[in-house]
């Protein structure tokens, strides 16, 4: 008769007490770091909140440092909700590398196309110049295109809706800035892959695993 395997993974049943997969991520990281007290308290709202705090700081600090060193826009508002998705619901399709990268690419492309259509490529940001009818049209068109294309391509990623408005409102209107934006998205996906796999989460290389 074989001996029982004492290495079985007693990972918590998802979702955790505040929803999502965060409790499972914390549990996996605590086990890998061999912190028994943290393992026992992995599903504490206090512990998960602290994990969200630390992970949020690290995720955006890395991008902000890259922006500081290079002078390029490696940091922009829609990275925040993307980072949260990556450790709150990492196995959800919307958090997969495919949806994250395609979604932000759609948002950036739709935002720039809207600028071209309404002749706003050389205009200052709406936050400085105010909102006129051409800017209303650009913002509306960019968000509509982004929403529709994400559905048609089956690549929903909600933070991309913020990305397209960042572009169509003139905050990041330059194509070079958009290339840097996409590099930042790819870098954040890489960070999510490392963190989730350290925690033992089956974060996909590209497309979300079928359930």
Q: Single out the residue of 99, 71, 73 nearest to residue 85, CA to CA.
A: 99
pLDDT bucket at 43, cuts 50 / 70 / 90: low
Contact residues for 62 (Cβ-Cβ < 8 A; gap 6+): 187, 191
Residue 173's pLDDT band (cuts 50, 70, 90): very high
Enter the tokens of residue 68.
């500081």
Whether the per-residue pLDDT at 8 is higher than 60: the answer is: no
119, 138 Cβ separation under 8 angstroms: no
DSSP for residue 199: T
CA 109 to CA 59: how far, in whole Å? 24
More confident residue, 104 or 1: 104
Q: Is the pLDDT of residue 115 over 60?
A: yes
Number of neighbours of residue 163 by Cβ within 10 angstroms: 31
- Give the closest residue to 26 by CA, choosing from 44, 5, 4, 2: 44
Closest CA to 73 of 180, 145, 197: 180
Residue 135's pLDDT band (boundaries 50, 70, 90)?
very high
Token representation of residue 86: 């990556």
Which of 15-24, 51-60, 147-156 is predicted most confidently? 147-156
Encode burial over 135-152: b for 16+ CB neighbours within 10 A, e otherwise.
Answer: beebbebbbebbbebbee
Residue 90 has pLDDT above 70, yes or no: yes
Q: What pLDDT, on the 0 to 100 scale, is given for residue 7?
A: 43
Instruction: Please tell me the predicted confidence (pLDDT) of residue 42.
Output: 60
CA neighbor of 160 nearest in space, from 170, 176, 147: 147
pLDDT at 185: 96
Q: Which two tokens stand for residue 174?
A: 């330059």
- Looking at residue 3, its pLDDT comes to 43
Higher pLDDT, 13 or 88: 88
pTM (2 decimals)? Answer: 0.84
Average pLDDT across the chain, whole number: 86
DSSP letter at 141 equals H
DSSP state of 95: G
Residue range 157-185: mean pLDDT, rounded = 95
Rounded-to-integer distance, Cα 133 and Cα 62, Å: 38
Mean pLDDT confidence for 121-139: 92
Q: Where are the domains of the chain?
A: 22-198
Q: Give the sign of the dihedral formed by CA 134, CA 137, CA 140, CA 146.
A: negative
């Amino acid at each position: 008769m074989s001996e029982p395997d004492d290495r079985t993974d007693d990972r918590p049943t998802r979702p955790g007490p505040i929803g999502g997969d965060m409790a499972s991520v914390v549990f996996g990281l605590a086990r890998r770091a061999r912190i028994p007290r943290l393992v026992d308290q992995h599903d504490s709202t206090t512990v998960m909140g602290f994990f969200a705090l630390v992970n949020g700081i690290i995720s955006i600090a890395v991008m902000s440092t890259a922006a500081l060193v290079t002078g390029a826009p490696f940091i922009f508002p829609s990275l925040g909700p993307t980072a949260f998705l990556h450790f709150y619901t990492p196995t959800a399709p919307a958090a997969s590398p495919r949806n994250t990268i395609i979604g932000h690419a759609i948002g950036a492309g739709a935002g720039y196309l809207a600028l071209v259509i309404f002749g706003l490529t050389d205009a200052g940001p709406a936050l400085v110049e105010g909102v006129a009818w051409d800017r209303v049209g650009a913002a509306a068109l960019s968000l509509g295109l982004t929403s529709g294309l994400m559905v048609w391509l089956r690549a929903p990623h909600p933070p991309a809706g913020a990305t397209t408005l960042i572009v169509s409102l003139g905050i990041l209107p330059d194509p070079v800035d958009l290339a840097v934006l996409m590099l930042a998205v790819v870098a954040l996906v890489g960070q999510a892959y490392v963190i989730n796999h350290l925690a033992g989460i089956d974060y996909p290389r590209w497309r979300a695993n079928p359930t």
